[in-house]
Structure 1
Amino acid sequence: MRIVSMVSGFTEALFEIGAGDQVVGVSKYCSRYVKDLKAEVVGDYIFVDKRKLRNLNPDLILLTSGIQERLSEELKKEGFPVFVLPLPRSINGIWENIISLGGLTGKLKEAKEMVYHHQEKLWHLGSLRKKQHQSVYVELWLGKHVRTIGGLTFIDDIIYFSGGKNIFSSRCESYIEPDLEVVEIIKPEFGIFFHEPDFPVDVEELLKTRNWNWFKKVIKMNIERGKNIIHDGPSVIETIAWLSNQLC
């Protein structure tokens, strides 16, 4: 009944399935996707204030795999009730996590209905897109280290259902260091660039330094709901709808 969610996608899903009143603690990023969020902020993606956490006396602390694994192990050793859901490797992983959240909170029916509704939207968007996919290069600035994506991430699916084709989709990896020489050889039609506000990137200047002038269009994505390509909450459907309009 007392949930701390350290993953913004989980927090968004909890509120959409009607379990928002059970959320007592969140990360500082969750308010981006839940309007007028009142739950107490107890940390960010990899750090948590344990004093605040104890004061909240949660029944359940939600974390994800990947970069949060160290935090989850640390909290487990101190006796906190941690539950880890997997970082999605496909858009189906997002749906699975939402259904799991429904099961954990007694909102399984609501979670499944939401997933079915979002899937119907997804298939509708797919029927509207062009049959020929546009080649896309994705660059993520997650702090100081640049990454692109292989085929084992939900972001690859976002690109596909938006009408694009990730140039590294055949790589059996998730987040990888981009080979800029390969990108130059392929010369993809579209470039998608994402960065966090704490680590701003001047995309135009970056492209000048690389002498990359072949893109049909450069698409800048940010943390705004419906424009955040790394966000794995229910609003991924909004992101796909927005991006499909850019890949024209």
Structure 2
Amino acid sequence: MKIYCDPLAGFVEIPEKPRRIVSLASGLTEALVHMGFSRLIAGVSVWCPNFTPELEAPIVGDYLSVDEEKLSAVQPDLLLITTGVQRGLARKLYKAGLPIYVLPLQNSLHGIFENIMTLGALLDALPAARALITRWQQTFAELHAQVPHPRPRVYAEIWFGRHVRMTGGLTFIHDLIEAAGGENLFGDVRKGYLELDLAEVERRRPDIFLVYSEPELPIQAVDLARERGWNIPLIQADISPAHNIIHDGPSMMRAARWLHGEIRRAAQETR
């Protein structure tokens, strides 16, 4: 099957029904598992097992590179990757003649669903893709029906290692916060991530402080709040699937339920 891949500005050749899939994006890998295609996954990235521990597929690379020997050994007939920082690796693999398809990084929950539909099309499994999306939508609808009124203003601070960002309105994290019952403090800003501006945070008067960090450089919300003199309820997110607010795979449903409970708890503290 010859199809056009816009991020690569070229056509790619893949089987009508791929049988040896390598996924270098954990959200896509997890989506494949939830769609019922674990048996077809021949290789994953080092980040995938955190979300799909049941898989026995070998690790063939990380987010930015691959082990060429390991990749060759699994003989993929479809290799999945995303844009953004993976774009350079995607182009390299495409030039090497590998059967690669590149999916766009998402600006919203709708973008995640579009990618799942694309996965369904690539695997000739649109019903499975639609079933996963429906389950996801139902989960978010159930949470939306239980949101507190008024919604508490949630300031989300994301630590990518030493790099800190505030969450704007052009990211699926915004949709996650809103579905869980909060109002994203910077949801009106037309960017995904913003540089830290504590004066503006304080001007907007958040009700809840939500912090995400990674094990390599753990950042605790309680410590930041103490340093800044903030006396508002805190929520601590991390890389575990049930508490991970930056992951774009189906475990977002678990994270949404957890965050919904945390926001309700925090909202009660402010009364």
Is TM (by shorter chain) over 0.5?
yes
What is the TM-score of this pair, normalised by structure 2? 0.86
Match of 2:231 in 1: 214
Match of 1:156 in 2: 174
SS in 2 for 1:137: strand
**Structure of larger gyration radius:** 2
Match of 2:69 in 1: 51
Match of 1:79 among 71, 92, 97: 97
| Residue 179 (structure 1) aligned with residue 197 (structure 2) | yes
| Residue 124 (structure 1) aligned with residue 142 (structure 2) | yes
Deviation string 1:98-148 (CA, Å, 9 cap, x unpaired) is 121111112211111121122122112111112421101111111221112
Letter paired with 1:214 = N
**Structure 1 Cα separation of the partners of residues 228 and 99 of structure 2:** 48
**Structure 1 Cα separation of the partners of residues 171 and 206 of structure 2:** 20
Deviation string 1:16-43 (CA, Å, 9 cap, x unpaired) is 1111111111011111111322001112
Which structure 2 residue ranges, 5 or more long, are not aligned?
1-18, 265-271
What is the TM-score of this pair, normalised by structure 1? 0.94
| Cα RMSD (Å) | 1.4
Match of 1:237 in 2: 253
Contact 1:9–1:234 at 8 Å: present in 2 too? yes
Letter paired with 1:222 = D
Compute the displacement of 1:176 (Å). 2.0
Deviation string 1:200-225 (CA, Å, 9 cap, x unpaired) is 224333333333x231x111111111
**Structure 1 Cα separation of the partners of residues 224 and 181 of structure 2:** 26
Deviation string 1:184-239 (CA, Å, 9 cap, x unpaired) is 2223111111111122224333333333x231x11111111121000101121111
| Residue 39 (structure 1) aligned with residue 49 (structure 2) | no
**Structure 2 Cα separation of the partners of residues 187 and 133 of structure 1:** 13
Which structure 1 residue ranges, 5 or more long, are not aligned?
none
Contact 1:7–1:27 at 8 Å: present in 2 too? yes
Match of 1:2 in 2: 20
Seen in structure 2, the aligned counterparts of structure 1 residues 155 and 148 have a Cα distance that, compared at 3 Å, is same
**Structure 1 Cα separation of the partners of residues 87 and 149 of structure 2:** 39
Q: % of aligned pairs identical? A: 40
SS in 1 for 2:249: coil
Match of 2:35 in 1: 17
Question: What does 1:63-212 correspond to in 2, within 5 Å?
Answer: 63-211=81-229
**Higher mean C-alpha displacement, 224-233 vs 40-49:** 40-49
SS in 2 for 1:168: coil
Deviation string 1:29-71 (CA, Å, 9 cap, x unpaired) is 1111113220011122122212211222111111112121122
**Structure 2 Cα separation of the partners of residues 24 and 145 of structure 1:** 33
Seen in structure 2, the aligned counterparts of structure 1 residues 163 and 202 have a Cα distance that, compared at 3 Å, is closer
Compute the displacement of 1:89 (Å). 1.0
SS in 2 for 1:141: strand
**Higher mean C-alpha displacement, 95-104 vs 19-28:** 95-104
- Number of residue pairs the alignment of both structures matches: 246
Deviation string 1:67-98 (CA, Å, 9 cap, x unpaired) is 21122122222222221111111111111111
**Structure 2 Cα separation of the partners of residues 18 and 205 of structure 1:** 42
Letter paired with 1:171 = V
**Structure 2 Cα separation of the partners of residues 134 and 205 of structure 1:** 22
Match of 2:10 in 1: none
Compute the displacement of 1:247 (Å). 0.7
